[in-house]
Structure 1
């Protein structure tokens, strides 16, 4: 009885796995992104990974750049691009 040649299939599977592992960093996105696309930020931990933040607040507090009435309850901002 003749054995089926599975070496070609195994090699193809190995290449597919290797290609998908190599492509993940390219498709992952920007780790240092300033966008907050969901509640409490990209990682939902409320921590900004921006490099250009002030080391301390001014005595008068930060400058207000926008204001929105959201009503009572729990809320959090989501930012992406110019929205």
Structure 2
């Protein structure tokens, strides 16, 4: 699948160690209103030291289903209960 995001592939994003190190699915995505940063998380509570900085392309390569969120505006977030569920997008 072609990289769909408007941001550059090397755009810095935040993910968690649970996704990178344990292979947990991305269940929560935030497009932050204050700085436009993307966050791709597993849906659990996190400590600061569990955050990892990776490229947007790296996240997309892990799970192409996040590409459907390419148009999600800043200030919104998306959730799903399982990796094969539909995303539910909401404004913060």
TM-score (norm 2): 0.24
Larger Rg: 1
What TM-score results when the alignment is normalised by the length of structure 1? 0.26
